[in-house]
Amino acid sequence: MVSPDIGGVKRAEAFREALERRLGRPLGRAFMEKSRSEGVVSGDTLVGDVSGRTVIIIDDLISSGTTLARAVAACRAQGARRIFAAASHGLFNVKAGELLRNPALEQLVVTDTVPPFRLGAAAREKLRIVSVAPLFAEAIRRIHAGGSLVELMGG
């Protein structure tokens, strides 16, 4: 499990722990060093061993795709065998289509909180969209029935 920046380490770690429990085996972790100054993103150091492994990059949102593209490139350079990514929200500005055309990225999973209307058909081939409707429906049901939202969110 790879976080594309230090700020997302907790999110990636929570996902890694949940997947580890589900698979019943240990999973590795890594993160990218990233800094932003005057709107320019820099930093290309990957901390963690991804060589020969399948990696999943976990992020909160994708706008231009720059952060994710840096993580994909670093994982490939460090010998990752397969690279997937997932993000809660795909905002996908005009530049984001370039990210999905990168052959190193096999698939990107996002929720349907924002429609990917800015992406062309070719860019959408690697995109998998997961509906949040069942989660929201269950949250509403629990609110009305006095159920736990904390348990629903895995806490």
Check if 10 is active-site: no
Check the CA dihedral 111-112-118-121 and report its sign.
Answer: positive
Residue type, 128: R
- The helix or strand, by DSSP H or E, that contains position 35, with its residue range, turns out to be strand 35-37
Measured CA to CA in angstroms, residue 17 lies from 4, 38, 154 at distances of 17, 35, 11
Active-site option among 10, 34, 95, 126? 34
Look at residues 20, 14, 3 and name the one whose alpha carbon lies nearest to residue 85: 3
CA–CA gap between residue 43 and residue 94 (Å, rounded): 23
Residue numbers annotated as active site: 34
